[in-house]
Amino acid sequence: MVFDNLFIVLQVLLSRVNLFSSKDLSSSANSSLQMYRKTAEAVMCGLIPKSPTATSSGTDGGLIWVSEWNALQHPVAAAFLAVIYSDYMLSSRTARISCDGHSYKPSDLRKVPLSQADYVLGNNPMKMSFLVGYGDNYPQYVHHISDVFSCRSAAADQLLNISETDQFSCRSAAADQQLNRLETDQFSYRSAEADQQLN
């Protein structure tokens, strides 16, 4: 779930029309929009950890993962959509969503982004912030997904204040989102030379 694939974003946006304007729509239009809302709510139910339909795609420490090669943008995007949908619920005075017979309030959805942000900022089994520069323990050799050019030029070295003797790899200079996830919430950082699935 990321904005590279707008399918779920579209579901959430169209559910907004159903939540706010259902009285002004024809029954056929409202019925169609209701399907989008049901899909969006199914996704929201998958994000709530205590829901019977909660996704099993995540780490034991609580980070949401969609597939092995995900970047942190996926759980962050999912968390953002949970905030948006909870806002829609509050604004439309929709008290609850039903997840396989269990009801959840907007406040339950709001816990999702908080848990994901806390995890990314260091409340995880490694006690490591994945936001470079935040906290006392953050990745030192990291790779940014858009860092695909060679930056070992004199201008780049001068800009980054790097001397010839510094150990430096362009691919390990910015902010990491390419993590090699292990099932135990332990992450390892791959060198650019060994990485066969960059970007």
Q: Average pLDDT for consecutive 10-residue bins of the chain (199 residues)? A: 74 92 85 93 95 90 77 88 97 97 98 96 93 88 54 53 51 39 49 41
pLDDT for res 41: 97
CB 86 within 8 A of CB 109: yes
Number of H helices, E strands in the chain: 5, 4
Domain ranges of the chain: 7-120, 132-199
Q: What pTM value is reported for the model?
A: 0.71
- For residues 95 and 72, give the distance between their C-alpha atoms in angstroms, rounded to a whole number: 30
Token output for 107: 């406040």
E strand or H helix at 29, and its extent? helix 27-47
- For residues 135 and 54, give the distance between their C-alpha atoms in angstroms, rounded to a whole number: 30
